[in-house]
Amino acid sequence: MRPLDGIRVLDFTWVVAGPVTTRILADLGADVIKVERRGSLDFGDRRGGLSGTLMRGKRSLLLDLNDPRGLDIARRLAAVSDVVIDNFSARVMTNLGLDYDALVQLRLDIICVRMTGFGLTGPDRDHVSYGPTLQALTGYTLLMAEPDGPPAGFGYSYSDLAGGNLGALAVLAALWHRRRTGRGQLVDLAQLETVASVLGPVLLDRALHGGASVPAGNASQEAPGAPHGVYPCAGEERWLAITVFTDAEWERFAGALGGAAWTRDARFATRAGRVRHAAELDRHAPASRRGWSPTPRTCARATRSSPRAATSWRCRRRRGGRCASTARRSCSPRRRPRSAARARCSASTPTRCCRGCSEWARRRSPPCAPRGCSGDRGTAFGDAGRRTGHADCRNRCRALEHGERSPR
């Protein structure tokens, strides 16, 4: 028995935000009927990829809502559904005669969820929205930049997931309200407001102190700490993420650097002093590591004295030299500071740069060995070939494992 067994959802949503909501409802046991239109695009194969994930657990129905017969079927389904949900702009369902005022005539206790971009009222009600637009309008692209750098932002539509999860929560709350009172309702869920709500601490700070919000860059937002960032090391596109919070961690950090003179500066002796002079620490840290090649053994020495490994040393290295395509940008803290802080540019991670991966591999990777690919560039290619869905990569790596030479 699942929580939403016996609940029927008529799903008119598309793209990502709305389908995330109805996928959660389907996972909870709801009978979700996905109304689709001919010619709508999928994100990959229905049996896999993003579309397969978003459609999980749903039934599909193809309807032409511009045809009176298709519209009549939609109304008949709405009359026997508990929830009707869409994420079109405000005018669409009204124009189709499927807005709340029309649906309540079909079923008195129906729950109608409208996941528009900007709400059902206001000057922007008829505007169409996408995730990156909403993220820019709510300030994420500013807040994720370097303090003096241009706007940055996410590498994906975070707002779709925020809207999708809050949409599912709204449906659950409406169902609970109906269970207690017997009444349905209209849920006006503006996705702009849902993604803004996740900025709670920033909004609270503005409300209390006024002024303008300032991007934090790679500075710690969890607790006072410095140094705290991603720093270049010896070689090309090799980086080390360093986090120091306590004085004991600072002593181990200084010891790992061989007791460099600048680490004995009195200004850096306390956490408060290090945070106050964080910018100067950031200038010292890269200079001390440009001639140093980080290894897992070096990282282990830095944290061995702490069973909790509180000093966070994470070797983030890509063996193939330069990161290709879009992954190269995400590895640069100057370009995408928050992405760089969390990127894993290593051979064990499938690269996002597999656009034209077979061509890139043909130019740059040596033959593969049976348990991975030999050589730096080969390792990066081999893992990407096995872990991504690109047939060229997989077939090429499989052929190389059987002794065939790589075409140059």
Active-site annotation, residues: 160
**Single-letter amino acid, residue 396:** R
- Asked whether 195 and 135 are in contact (CB, 8 A), the reply is yes
Phi, psi of 186 (to 5 degrees): -100, 130
Phi, psi of 198 (to 5 degrees): -75, -15
Q: Maximum distance among all alpha carbons in the chain?
A: 81
Angle between helices 296-303 and 247-256 (to 10 degrees): 140
3-state secondary structure 40-70: CCCCCCCCCHHHHHHCCCEEEEECCCCCHHH
DSSP string, 232-247: E-SSSSEEEEEE--SH
User: Following CA atoms 101, 107, 113, 118 in sequence, which dihedral angle do they give, to the nearest 10 degrees?
Assistant: 0
Cα distances (Å, whole numbers) of residue 233 to 21, 238, 330, 375: 43, 5, 17, 20
Q: How far apart are CA 12 and CA 81, in angstroms?
A: 13
Task: Indicate the length of the chain as a whole number.
Answer: 408
User: How many C-beta atoms surround the C-beta of residue 159 within 10 A?
Assistant: 29
